């Protein structure tokens, strides 16, 4: 796979950090010989604007890509683009000035992005008295103790005299030795099922062999080559000739040529900095900030689920506050939707939704930072827990119930720890798409294809869901069904329709969800009705008494049933309602108008009466081929009030078909011979 250095390790990315003018670029030049301030404007103003890159070999042979970031507050967007993919921080602090505003902000950002390894260079020591160096170093160490770089080495240096540089390189080698990265020990996709069943290496939150992904941090044209983009490979491997998709929107391109620090290579792997020469129709495409990934592996969305940790500060983020969302090398404007209004536990990650103003494509587990819209200041960051909430929420989750649904989904999704398998984008997808994503053939594999644990095949065998997403949908479904059962304790089941609109919003056909739950025995499906596993109806003695009275009265009433409740029964109306619902549920009583509820005045008939009426009707049709309302009325000895709804019921049941004033046999039953074959 990707190239390794003499130590057998993959190269790592070292990123500078620190306040403007503190000497980052000068230190990079002193260490590597490369002046990363290349732009005329950068040279004229003595200030870095763009990211700079330089290769560096540490004393133990480890090769690094050094990313030099600008310190000025105005270019923090570029710093954020460079911070993505950093393994080790090289914090640069001017010995005269000490910790300043962007020293803090850069450290906050790197901490939020999960970078914990680093070395602090106390630089420009040639400008202070030798006796002041020790105390300055101690002050810096004391400050760092409260940050994500607590305990890191503090090395006094001078880029001008070269003093301390060898110590700095040694300290960097120690930090580099502690890097563990998903890119290491990447199993072959063919080993997916085998490796998935064994616990992965504890240090590797591996998105194993996962799809290639790289966020573009620079894009330029080189004459003779054409379009070139650079970035740090975030995931997987990119090989020469490979086709990649530009996300969130753009064409598919082909990788014509690959370079690592000016050296052509056949492929690059997670953690490596690469320059890619792209072939494709890229006119009018603004490439910087876009993501290159294997086609079909990301899903652009406008609603994302996040686990957000807020930095402590005087004013916490407000619900619906407009923020700048930085992930990969892109900045996207949008609003934060707080799901847990209680912000008292600052410093702990909280589930929130980010509602973007334009679609963006992020991967599950990807790190992000948010900054206040104005004045732009870093306020928090964390990881993406659901890359696509659009399907799940069916819109912006601003209302109370949508927020509750989002909270349930995110609570299930943020079970802690990074994902160990290629996540199902958006919580669920078609099996074919997912198989493509995990590199399992062309996506045409059968349902017997091995799926990693944490990914569930749904009923019908055509779709997969992230286990956490499935459990979240189930828990809300179960809640709704239980609520419904408890509201009607006398009934054994509920109509499917009580779950329909909720399940419809989960992106797949409701029956796929229901049948998946049923196949696990979580619920029972019977006709159009659903029963929660373990639910038993509760029928009180009074309801039973009313049920017997109703049953007798309706049986007696035949084709002219009494209006309900029957007179003189001496029981409250609600009791009769409940009793009637149980009879309707059992099919013992039928309401021809289809309104199965209550005593709203719709006539209801005993099942026996319906069966007899149907038999008489079919016999008549056998003999005469047609029937009028009046004939049917006389046959039953009833009145139009009861006969009309009955005929409409038989139309719906496809026994009869209405033609003007006549009823004939329903076309679907024309081939029947006689009335015996019904049911
Ligand atoms: N005396 C002395 N001057 C230094 C040293 N390192 C850097 N400088 C000077 O400090 C100034 C700023 O250095 P840069 O390396 O451009 O600072 P920077 O941190 O990269 O600045 P930005 O990228 O704009 O944030 C320049 O004039 C450097 O020559 C040092 O070790 N000693
Ligand atoms: Mg600089």
- Name the closest-CA residue to atom 30, ligand 1: 124
* Per-residue pLDDT, 4: 56
The environment of the single-atom ion ligand 2, i.e. residues with CB closer than 5 A, is 24-25, 48
Ligand with minimal distance to 73 CA: 1
Ligand 2 center from residue 275 Cα (angstroms): 21
Q: With a 6 A CB cut-off, is 48 part of the ligand 1 pocket?
A: yes
Distance, CA of 193 to CA of 9 (rounded, Å):
26
Ligand 1 center from residue 22 Cα (angstroms): 5
Quick one: tokens of 587? Answer: 């099919």
Ligand with minimal distance to 24 CA: 1
pLDDT digits (tens, 9 = 90+) for 19-31: 999 999 999 999 9
User: Against a cut of 0.85, is the pTM above it?
Assistant: no
Ligand 1 atom at shortest distance from the alpha carbon of 18: 19
* Per-residue pLDDT, 395: 67
Ligand 2 center from residue 67 Cα (angstroms): 10
Ligand 1 center from residue 82 Cα (angstroms): 19
Distance, CA of 606 to CA of 627 (rounded, Å):
23
Q: With a 6 A CB cut-off, is 160 part of the ligand 1 pocket?
A: yes
Ligand 2 center from residue 38 Cα (angstroms): 10
Tell me which residues of the chain have a pLDDT lower than 70. Answer: 1-10, 181-210, 314, 340-347, 391-395, 409, 411-423, 425-426, 436-450, 566-569, 595-600, 670-679
Q: With a 6 A CB cut-off, is 285 part of the ligand 1 pocket?
A: no
Q: With a 6 A CB cut-off, is 123 part of the ligand 1 pocket?
A: yes
Ligand 1 atom at shortest distance from the alpha carbon of 20: 25
Ligand 2 center from residue 70 Cα (angstroms): 5
Contact 211, 235 (CB under 8 A): yes
Ligand 1 mutation pick, 19, 20, 25, max ligand atoms within 8 A of CB: 25
Q: Is the dihedral of CA 593, 598, 600, 604 positive or negative?
A: positive
- Given the DSSP bridges, would you call strands 226-235 and 218-222 parallel, antiparallel or unpaired? antiparallel
Distance, CA of 33 to CA of 42 (rounded, Å):
17
Q: With a 6 A CB cut-off, is 102 part of the ligand 1 pocket?
A: no
DSSP readout, 410-430?
Answer: HHHHT-SS--SSPPPGGGEEE
CA-wise closest residue to 70 among 44, 40, 93, 102: 102
Distance, CA of 369 to CA of 551 (rounded, Å):
67
Residue 545 backbone phi and psi in degrees, to 5: -60, -45
* Per-residue pLDDT, 266: 95
Quick one: tokens of 99? Answer: 């910790």
- Name the closest-CA residue to atom 8, ligand 1: 23
- Name the closest-CA residue to atom 29, ligand 1: 26
Q: With a 6 A CB cut-off, is 21 part of the ligand 1 pocket?
A: yes
Ligand 1 center from residue 24 Cα (angstroms): 6
- Name the closest-CA residue to atom 7, ligand 1: 23
Residue 264 backbone phi and psi in degrees, to 5: -65, 140
* Per-residue pLDDT, 366: 86
Q: With a 6 A CB cut-off, is 78 part of the ligand 1 pocket?
A: no
Q: With a 6 A CB cut-off, is 90 part of the ligand 1 pocket?
A: no
Three-class SS state of 487: helix
Q: With a 6 A CB cut-off, is 351 part of the ligand 1 pocket?
A: no
Q: With a 6 A CB cut-off, is 158 part of the ligand 1 pocket?
A: yes
Distance, CA of 593 to CA of 40 (rounded, Å):
82
Ligand 1 mutation pick, 15, 26, 100, 127, max ligand atoms within 8 A of CB: 26
Distance, CA of 479 to CA of 376 (rounded, Å):
42
In sequence order, the 6+-apart residues with CB closer than 8 A to the CB of 364 are 384, 385, 386, 387, 419, 423, 425
Ligand 1 atom at shortest distance from the alpha carbon of 70: 23
252 sits in which H/E element: strand 252-260
- Name the closest-CA residue to atom 14, ligand 1: 23
Ligand with minimal distance to 46 CA: 1
Ligand with minimal distance to 19 CA: 1
- Name the closest-CA residue to atom 21, ligand 1: 21
Distance, CA of 497 to CA of 482 (rounded, Å):
14
Q: With a 6 A CB cut-off, is 46 part of the ligand 1 pocket?
A: yes
Ligand with minimal distance to 27 CA: 1
* Per-residue pLDDT, 500: 87
- Name the closest-CA residue to atom 12, ligand 1: 21
* Per-residue pLDDT, 443: 40
Q: With a 6 A CB cut-off, is 52 part of the ligand 1 pocket?
A: no
Distance, CA of 45 to CA of 75 (rounded, Å):
14
Ligand 2 center from residue 270 Cα (angstroms): 26
Q: Could you tell me the CA-to-CA distances from 193 to 97, 187, 210, 428 in Å, in that order?
A: 55, 10, 13, 19
Ligand 2 center from residue 136 Cα (angstroms): 22
């Amino acid at each position: 796979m990707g190239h390794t250095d003499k130590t057998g390790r993959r190269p790592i990315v070292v990123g500078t950090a620190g306040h403007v003018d503190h000497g980052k670029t000068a230190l990079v030049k002193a260490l590597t010989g490369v002046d990363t301030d290349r732009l005329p404007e950068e040279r004229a103003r003595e200030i870095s604007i763009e990211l700079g890159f330089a290769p560096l070999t540490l004393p133990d042979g480890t090769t690094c890509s050094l990313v030099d970031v600008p310190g000025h507050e105005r270019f923090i967007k570029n710093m954020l683009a460079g911070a993505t993919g950093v393994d080790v921080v090289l914090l640069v602090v001017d010995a005269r000035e000490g910790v300043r505003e962007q020293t803090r902000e850069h450290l906050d950002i790197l901490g939020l992005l999960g970078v914990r390894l680093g070395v602090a260079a106390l630089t420009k020591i040639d400008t202070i008295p030798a006796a002041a160096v020790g105390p300055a170093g101690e002050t810096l160490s004391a400050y760092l103790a409260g940050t994500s770089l607590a305990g890191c080495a503090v090395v006094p240096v001078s880029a001008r005299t070269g003093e301390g540089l060898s110590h700095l390189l040694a300290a960097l080698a120690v930090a580099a030795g502690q890097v563990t990265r998903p890119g290491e020990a990447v199993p072959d996709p063919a080993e997916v099922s085998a490796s998935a069943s064994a616990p992965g290496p504890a240090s590797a939150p591996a998105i194993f062999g996962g799809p290639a992904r790289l966020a573009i941090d620079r894009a330029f044209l080189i004459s003779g080559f054409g379009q070139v983009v650079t970035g740090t490979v975030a995931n997987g491997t990119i090989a020469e000739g490979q086709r990649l998709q530009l996300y969130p929107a753009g064409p598919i391109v082909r990788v014509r040529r690959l370079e690592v620090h000016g050296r052509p290579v056949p492929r690059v792997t997670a953690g490596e900095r690469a320059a890619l020469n792209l072939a494709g129709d890229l006119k009018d495409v603004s490439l910087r900030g876009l993501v290159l990934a294997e086609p079909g592996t990301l899903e652009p969305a406008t609603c994302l689920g996040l686990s957000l940790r807020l930095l402590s500060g005087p004013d916490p983020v407000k619900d619906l506050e407009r923020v700048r969302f930085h992930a990969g090398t892109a900045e996207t404007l949008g609003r934060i939707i707080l799901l847990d209004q209680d912000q008292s536990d600052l410093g702990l990650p909280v589930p929130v939704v980010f509602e973007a103003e334009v679609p963006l494509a992020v991967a599950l587990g990807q790190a992000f930072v948010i900054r206040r819209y104005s004045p732009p200041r870093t306020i928090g960051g964390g990881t993406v827990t659901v890359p696509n909430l659009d399907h799940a929420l069916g819109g912006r989750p601003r209302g109370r119930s949508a927020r509750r649904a989002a909270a349930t989904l995110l609570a299930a999704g943020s079970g802690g720890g990074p994902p160990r398998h290629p996540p199902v984008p958006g919580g669920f997808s078609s099996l074919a798409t997912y198989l493509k994503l995990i590199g399992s053939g062309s996506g045409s594999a059968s349902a017997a294809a091995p799926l990693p644990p944490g990914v569930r095949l749904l009923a019908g065998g055509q779709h997969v869901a992230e286990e956490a997403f499935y459990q979240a949908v189930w828990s809300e479904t179960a809640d709704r069904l239980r609520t419904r059962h408890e509201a009607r304790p006398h009934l054994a089941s509920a109509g499917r329709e009580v779950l329909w609109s909720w399940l419809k919003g989960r992106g797949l056909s409701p029956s796929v969800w229901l049948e998946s739950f049923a196949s696990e025995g979580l619920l029972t499906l019977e006709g159009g009705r659903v029963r929660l596993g373990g639910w038993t109806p509760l029928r009180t003695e009074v309801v039973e008494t009313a049920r017997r009275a109703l049953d007798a009265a309706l049986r007696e009433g035949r084709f002219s049933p009494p209006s309900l409740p029957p007179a003189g029964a001496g029981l409250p109306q609600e009791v009769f309602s409940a009793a009637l619902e149980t009879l309707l549920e059992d099919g013992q009583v039928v309401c021809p108008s289809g309104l199965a509820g209550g005593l709203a005045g719709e006539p209801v008939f005993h099942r026996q009466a319906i069966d007899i009426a149907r038999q008489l009707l079919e016999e008549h049709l056998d003999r005469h081929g047609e029937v009028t309302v009046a004939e049917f009325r006389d046959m039953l000895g009833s009145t139009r009030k009861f006969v009309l709804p009955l005929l409409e019921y038989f139309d719906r049941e496809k026994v009869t078909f209405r033609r003007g004033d006549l009823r004939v046999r329903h076309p679907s039953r024309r081939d029947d011979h006689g009335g015996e074959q019904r049911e």
